[in-house]
Structure formats: C-alpha cells, structure tokens
Amino acid sequence: MKTTMLAIGCGLGVCLLLGAANTAAAPGPCSNSILKGGYAFLYRNVGPLSSGVIQMGRLDSDGSGKFTEVFTSNQAGVTTHQTSTGTYTVNPDCSGTFVDTAIPGTQFVILDAGDRVATVTTQFGVPASKTYTGQMQRISLGNSTPCSDASLKGVFFSVEDGVRAGNFGDIVFDVSVGNLTAFVADGAGSAVGRGIGTTEFSDVYTVNPDCTGSYDRRFVGGTFDEHADFVISGDGRMVYGVITDAGSGAVQIVAQKQDL
C-alpha cells in the first residue's frame, strides 16, 4: 500500500505527519468475517454549539454480524457515557452498514484488509438533519497483550478541533477552534507537552485493560484544567479522544505517534 504523507504543522522542532488518501479499500470479496475484534472509533458532527456532537469509544465485532460498543458522547458541551449493541452487514465489495441503538443507519467502507473503516451516518430529524463522518481503526494489529499505562509511550502529535463555548465578560462566544499539540508520554501515567503557539501543559493519564482511558491536563501558569476520554488503537500508535469538561463545547482529539 502506498501512503502519501502530508505535513500538517510543525513545532518543538518536528512536524505532524498524517497519512493522506492513497489508501485503497480492502480487496474483495469481503464478508462479515473481515470485521472482527476490537476497534477504536471517532464520529463527529460539528456545527454550531447547539448541534455539535462527537462520539468516541470502542467497538467489538464478532465476525458474524453483531457488535457492542462503549463510548463517550459530547453533545453541545454535555458529556455522557453510553453503551449500545447492533448488527452489521459487509457486502462483497467491502462496503457495508451498521445498525445500532445509538446511531442507526451508518454506511461504511473497509480499508487495509479490515484494519481501518471509514464511516458516514445521516440522521433525519427536526429541526435539521445531522451527518456524521467517522473513522475506525483496529486496536490490536497482532499484539494480544491487554493495554496499560505502558501502552501510551513516546512522542505524539495531535490535532484538536471542534466547537468551544464560553464567555469573556458579558460576551458569550460559540466558535470553531483548532489546535496542534505535541506531547511526550512516559508510559507510566505522565506526559508533558505544549500546543503550537500556546502554553505548556502536563498530563496525568490512566489506560484501562480494554485500551480506553482518560487524562487530566494542567496548563502551566493557567487557571484551569482540561479533561478528556480517549481510546488507543494500532498497538499504541493512534489515539482518538474527546474533551469532557462541562460546557466546553464539542472538541475531538486525534493523536499519532511519531518515529523520531
């Protein structure tokens, strides 16, 4: 497979590189069995604060058309933790459909022989319909060891984007935001880093055996903390997350480990 690398941003002397779109769908014919095991997922529909939604978590599929999922949902700055079950169908051309109790009617296409999945969901409703785009990645690419704090170790670059809400004096704001950050995780529950053009921070994190986790972030010299839930995939090389602070808006996190 040929992957083009795109430089997104630079800081701390290194650049964030994300794979661009020369990835082909899995060779057919596909079937339900290609989608088996644990996957990290991140779905988003980001608009004004009143409609912004991000869902992030873990999906486990049985290879026979059934799945369960545990996830964190941030809708308009309100965070909930949910579970759901459902069914899926994979077509011979590697497209397919998820049907579940949380977001019905998700269409997908399987990439990289089942290691990655791209999704799109449309919810029809009043006053407006919502379209979610999403990505899934297999949590383990061959390593069967349960996750722990040691699973998050090394240099990572991340993109945070979404909608934030707040106030400045009497002015209430609801704005789209984006930020690049770099951090170093020690594999023992601590990390340090900084945003591009922003202040330094330190994290305390916990990784659960199922590869989900959370962190508490303290900004150096700042007056507030930041909190997020996350899930690790690709044997520790990719992290999906969502900020969970009440009233903070809907902000997603995508972090990738760098080989330096």
Give the span between the Cα atoms of 69 and 89, in whole angstroms: 16
For position 10, what pLDDT does the model report? 40
Q: Is 255 exposed, middle or buried (0-12, 13-18, 19+ CB in 10 A)?
A: buried
Question: Which pLDDT score is estimated for 220?
Answer: 84
Specify the pLDDT at position 50: 52
Class of residue 246 by CB neighbours under 10 A (exposed 0-12, middle 13-18, buried 19+): exposed
Question: Domain segments of the chain: what residues?
Answer: 32-138, 149-257
**pLDDT per residue as tens, the chain (260 positions):** 333 333 333 433 333 334 444 455 545 589 999 999 999 999 987 555 455 788 999 999 999 999 999 999 988 778 999 999 999 999 999 999 998 866 667 899 999 999 999 999 876 655 556 778 899 999 987 767 789 999 999 999 999 887 666 554 555 555 667 788 999 999 999 999 998 766 799 999 999 999 999 999 998 876 668 899 999 999 999 999 999 987 767 889 999 999 86
**What's the burial of 148, exposed, middle or buried (CB within 10 Å: 0-12/13-18/19+)?**
middle
Residue 17 has what pLDDT?
39
Distance CA 200, CA 222 (A): 9
CA diameter of the chain: 59
Closest by Cα among 104, 113, 102, 167 to 138: 113
| Paired residues of 25 in beta bridges | 111
The hierarchical CATH code for the domain 32-138 is 2.40.128.20
- Report pLDDT for 46: 53
* CATH node for 149-257: 2.40.160
